[in-house]
Amino acid sequence: MKHFKLNINTKSQKYSIIIGKDLYENLPKLLDQNSVSFNKCLIVIDNKIKKKIILKILKKFKKKNKVVYFFNANEKNKNQKSVDKILNILLKNNFQRNDCLISIGGGITGDVSSFASSIYKRGMKFVNVPSTLLAQVDSSIGGKTGINSSHGKNLIGSFYQPNLVISDTNFLKTLPKREMICGYAEIFKHSIILKEKFFKYLNENASKILKIKSPFIEKSIIESCKIKKKIVEQDENEKNIRKILNFGHTFAHAYEATLNYSKKLNHGEAVLLGIMSAITFSLKIKLISKKDYLRIKNHFIKYNLPNNVNNYFSKKNLKKLVLFMKKDKKNTNNNINLILIKKIGKIKLSLNFTDKKIYSFLKEQLVN
């Protein structure tokens, strides 16, 4: 497959997403070709990336104009302390606004790095090289940056578009199946919210996508990015339609926070649980038909995707779950804002429910 280039055009920034194989070894060349120039760069590298890949990347950069920082990427390190470490490196080495921060890693590395880029001297150049499927189809696109706090997930952040995104599918060959499912969650979500035809494609080819088979994996990434591009270009700062990208996430973020971001449940698995909760709630309030509800649920069953909250929570977690949902950044009043589904490809925005209603729903879902 040839490299695929997708151009994003928002009010604040125009940039490209390059998708394909054999990209990371030619990183400096790709930067030049896409007009990303700088005197020096800070390269923040996710320490989960294999050493042989890191060496291939770094040897292409000139020694004198790069500083390298290895980041221990996990949800617990997605915090202000980690951002401060990056800022201190930039300050110590006197980086300028027209210099560049390059993030190479998963979504956490990208989120922390892009947030640091957005606030360093009120904004420096930023390039994202996502190494996980989740980051390639979700967090690297659209300019959302964010870190966690004790009050919840991604409550501190900014909107800051990158100068370039380079998504190399060769990275995916190093990922365990659990990480592939994590990324697939967002691909699946994109199909549900906007494109039934893509949902049908996934329903037929999900096993090939999860096994990283060509051209299925490339097509799923490209289609997913196209959906997010369409939404982000219409609503860069999440004032209206971009909210549909949060489908399932109000539940998902509460699930992650309640477990204190433990390895028992990663972000993609939480999103899958959140999607299941959202369609079940949609069915409960008679928003979605039983037919479409079952089409989505059967996809979970067919491909053995996480879908049962009882494997992670019990009734003793109820108060904490609702508390985190009440703190969600999409809420505009004392109620809980949910993005729900009318049918595959059609989402209902900004529906508000009392915490009592959500508590009652979750209580019904939890057996023990």
CATH code at position 154: 3.40.50.1970
Q: Which pLDDT score is estimated for 297?
A: 98
Same domain, 168 and 229: no
- For 321-354, how does the pLDDT look when each residue is reduced to its tens digit (9 = 90+)? 999 999 988 888 889 999 999 999 999 988 999 9
Report the share of the chain in percent with pLDDT over 90: 91
CA distance linking residue 132 with residue 198, whole number of Å? 21
Q: Which pLDDT score is estimated for 222?
A: 96
Same domain, 212 and 251: yes
Same domain, 109 and 181: no
Q: Which pLDDT score is estimated for 63?
A: 75
In a 13 Å sphere around the CA of 309, the CA atoms on its Cβ side amount to 30
CA distance linking residue 221 with residue 209, whole number of Å? 9
Same domain, 189 and 232: yes
* pLDDT for residue 33 is more than 80: yes
Longest Cα pair distance anywhere in the chain, in angstroms? Answer: 62
* Final residue before a domain boundary, out of 118, 142, 174: 174
Q: Which pLDDT score is estimated for 81?
A: 97
| Higher pLDDT among residues 150 and 82, named by residue | 82
126 conformational bin, left if phi > 0, alpha if psi -120 to 50, beta if neither:
beta
Which of the residue ranges 1-10, 188-197, 207-216 would you say has the lowest mean pLDDT? 1-10
CA distance linking residue 225 with residue 16, whole number of Å? 11
Compute the residue count for the chain: 368
Domain count within the chain: 2
Same domain, 52 and 135: yes
Same domain, 249 and 319: yes
Q: Which pLDDT score is estimated for 65?
A: 87
Residue with tokens 């994003």: 8
Q: Where in the sequence is the domain holding 281, given as residue range(s)?
A: 177-365
Contact 236, 12 (CB under 8 A): yes
CATH at 276: 1.20.1090.10
**Could you please report the per-residue DSSP string of 218-254?**
HHHHHHHHHHHHHHHHH-TTSSSGGGGGGTTHHHHHH
CA distance linking residue 120 with residue 97, whole number of Å? 8
Q: What is the mean pLDDT of the chain?
A: 95
* Final residue before a domain boundary, out of 111, 144, 174: 174
DSSP state of 4: E
Contact 270, 169 (CB under 8 A): no
Same domain, 149 and 193: no
Same domain, 188 and 327: yes
Same domain, 137 and 15: yes
In a 13 Å sphere around the CA of 150, the CA atoms on its Cβ side amount to 1
- For 244-287, how does the pLDDT look when each residue is reduced to its tens digit (9 = 90+)? 999 999 999 999 999 999 999 999 999 999 999 999 999 999 99
- For 85-144, how does the pLDDT look when each residue is reduced to its tens digit (9 = 90+)? 999 999 999 999 999 999 999 999 999 999 999 999 999 999 999 999 999 999 999 999
Same domain, 232 and 360: yes
- What's the predicted TM-score (pTM) here? 0.92
Q: Which pLDDT score is estimated for 190?
A: 97
Q: Which pLDDT score is estimated for 268?
A: 95
Contact 125, 101 (CB under 8 A): yes
Q: What are residue 129's DSSP bridge partners?
A: 104
* pLDDT for residue 1 is more than 70: no
Amino acid at 315: K
* Final residue before a domain boundary, out of 125, 159, 174: 174
At 88 the three-state DSSP class reads helix
Same domain, 92 and 146: yes
Tokens of 144: 């959302």
DSSP state of 16: E
CA 130 to chain centre: 10
- For 143-183, how does the pLDDT look when each residue is reduced to its tens digit (9 = 90+)? 999 999 988 889 999 999 999 999 999 999 999 999 999 99
Same domain, 183 and 146: no
Q: Which pLDDT score is estimated for 350?
A: 80
In which band, very low, low, confident or very high, does the pLDDT at 193 lie, cut at 50, 70 and 90? very high
